[in-house]
Each structure stands twice: as C-alpha cells, then as structure tokens.
Structure 1
Amino acid sequence: MLEVILPQPIKLKSWNPMPGAVLQRPEHAMRIAAIAAEWTQIEFSMINLLAGSYGQTLYNESGPYEAQHNPVAVAAMQAAETIRSRLKLLDLTLGKMVTGTSVEAEWLAVRDNLQKRARERNKIVHGSWGIMINEPDELVMHTSDGYFKWTVRDFEDVLERLVTLRWAVVDLTSQITDAVHAGEIPQGIMGPITGWLSDRADGSMEA
C-alpha cells in the first residue's frame, strides 16, 4: 500500500486567492491536469467493471479480457453524475452479485479506495489556490482547516495513487470476468441497471 504523505500546513497573515494562480506554477498546473485526466480514465474503467460483471467482455482464457462497448453500462454511468451515485449503482448490481464470492474482499477494497481517491481528486480539482511570491516552488490551498502548501511532489503522489487505483479496477474487472465465465457469479444484472436508469429518469433516486 502506498504511503500517503500530506501537504504541509502553513500560517498566513492574509489570503488573496488568484483565479490564474496555477498558471503561474506551470509544473503544478500540468500535474493538476494530469490528475483530472487520470480520474476520467478511472471512470472509464468503472464502466468496464460494470459491463464485465454481467459478462459483456470478450473473454480469452489464455490472456486478459477485452472490454466491449456497452451502451447500457455507459448510459448508467453517465446518468450517475457523482461518484457517490456511481458507487451506489455498483453496490446495487456488482456489490450484490459478489457477496460471498472469491472477489468480494477485492471489490470492497477497491470501493473503499474509490471513495478516498475521489475525495482527494475533488479537493485538488475544485480547490481554492493561491501563491506566495517568496515560495516559487509551491501552490497554496485554502480549506476550512487552514492553508496548505503543495509541492510538485505532492501532486505526483496523488497521481501515483490514482494510477494504482485504476489498475486495481482493471484487475478487479479481470477477476470478475473470470468468475462470471466460471459460473461463480451469475449473469443477469440488466434488470437492476435498467430499473436504476428508470428511477433516475423519474427523479425518484437521489444522486
């Protein structure tokens, strides 16, 4: 497991957040963009995870699976506009299917990691950023807990954790695909997915 090293708190006498602050720290800005892009890849992997859980993959016994485009899984994930509602969707379908199987523990670990990394990503992408003129190698984030200085290394650590998470989702998809094709996990969660989409369309399920 990767060691999580947090950005260091600092004391400031005044705070003047600048909309273009990150542009004055191009190395930091590049990594913020990379973090946002990596999260998009994780969400794409979640679509494959959902599709793979009901057998919608090209299965290869001698090699890794190959995910097929699945319009139902794509529509379901797009309808779920927040990470909270996407995890709720996976709980409704995948979570119930893997209970008591060989992949249940792995699913719970990935789910927990998705929640943690989502909060971390959101903090960065939606952060209130500023700079200190006398600290050219850092960005400063203002939160309800105070001010924190972020170095390039801090952003790289977050990105590394996201990449590790994405591969964990990919590996889980492969394990679930194996279990589905071995008969350990039953296919047939289309009903819960389409029902979930119907509830979303009616506005009866909270995100």
Structure 2
Amino acid sequence: MGKITSLGWTLGIAGSSLAIAAGVAPASSASVRPVTAASSCDWATVTSVASCGGMSALVKAAQAEGQLNVITLPPNWANYGTLMSEFQAKYHIKINDADPEGSSQDEINAVIHEKGTSKEPDVLDMGPSFALEGASQGLLAPYKVTEWSEIPGNEKAANGDWYYDYGGYISIGYNAGAVKPAPTSFKSLSNPAYKGDIALDGNPTEAGAAFAA
C-alpha cells in the first residue's frame, strides 16, 4: 500500500529591510548587518524604507553590502527559484541560500549560532509558531514593508516583527492507484486499513507544515 502524506501549510513571516524592500517574498527576519554605504542610516535598525530615504536609498545600501543571506528557500517552493533569480538580475545583489531543504527550527538555530558571522541570515521564511517563538526570544528585527497597512491586523505583529506573507491549506496526498479505500477526510484516516501507511511532511517539532497537519 502506498504511503499517505499529510501536506501542511507554511506562512511567510516578514522582516529584513534589505530583503523585503528589494522584492524577495520573505519571512521573519533576524537583524540585517549594518552597511557602510554613503548614508547616515543604519539599515539594520530602521523599521521602514520611508524612514531611511526610500527605495532607491535601500537598493544602494544593499548593493554596497553586496549580498543577501536567506535560508531554507527551496527553489521549487512558492516560486522562490524564479524570485531569487530575478532579484539578483535586477538588483545585482548575490543571494546566498543556506540549507534550502531545512526546517523552521533550523532557521531559528541559524539565527542564534551564526549571529555576527558572514552567514547570519538576513531574512527567514517559517511557520507562524516558529515566528512567534523567534519574536519571544528577541531574535527578529521589527520592519514594516511598504504595504503594511494593507495586511490585516490578525496577520502581522503590531511592532513589525513578522507578517503572513503567503499561506495554503492542509490536504491529504495519496497514490490513488495504491491506497484503497480512498481517504475522504482526516477522520477517515483512523481506518485500520491505513495502519502503518500514514506519514507527516516532516517532524512536527521542527517543521511548520508537519505541525499544522
């Protein structure tokens, strides 16, 4: 009998000034390293692009820094491959995508252990429970994207630590040619016929998709 996989959802969380304002569809952010471009602003601490000279100033500062560190962004997930390719071509800023197949917990760990190094993540994409955890630990840098006012209040942190960037729906995936009878609901998965053939999309303690399922 084929394996049944419960597919979960992941919500992007917002943050890094360099990444968000420059167009990557990102998630929760750790602090961006200060840049040394010809500007009186410290982009590691500003909370909006408007407060530091606007988009053109942000792009100039990001180009001076030279690279953007992202983490756990699979190129075949949420169109990230195309987004990152177009971002690099448009802004001439190299993207370093660490651990593309990692989990939300891996992102939290990287923020903690890579702090102050050249590998420190600038922006994260994680499940909401992990964003809340990161915020509670003071790991995220508040930042409000240009469209902040358009995001519903229950889909963002009031101070700008994170916001819901994209979402999905929990569903059941199975091989119709091998799984009999076909599952019709999550409740139907309690059928003894499926014993030993149900799997989650990752570790619920580390991956938002598995936790949601």
Give the TM-score normalised by structure 1.
0.26
Choose between structure 1 and 2: higher helix proportion: 1
Give the TM-score normalised by structure 2.
0.25
